Amino acid sequence: MSRHVSLRDESFGALAYHHVNRRLVFLKSKPLVAIVQDLANFPTAREAIAAHVDEAEVARYEKALSSLVPSDIINGR
């Protein structure tokens, strides 16, 4: 997760705000929030996802995560 991003828990998941590009992004599920917060603890995004959701859902969450890259909510190391 970008060091410029703040997360705030909401009933649907969380709001993410990027303080530099001022993008406000909705994380629409609790597992997605947990994955984003946990990314730094895993060597790859796939492993972070697998730690939080069932195998059948990994592809869906990979897609959700990649949608957070253009707004720099998360970025590569």
Positions touching another protein (CB under 8 A) are: 6-12, 15, 17, 19-20, 22, 24, 26, 28
Close Cβ partners of 77 (under 8 Å, ≥ 6 residues apart)? none
CB of 14 to another protein, least distance (A): 10
CB of 34 to another protein, least distance (A): 17
**18 or 46: whose CB is closer to another protein?**
18
Close Cβ partners of 73 (under 8 Å, ≥ 6 residues apart)? 1, 2, 5, 16, 18, 23, 25, 36
CB of 74 to another protein, least distance (A): 17
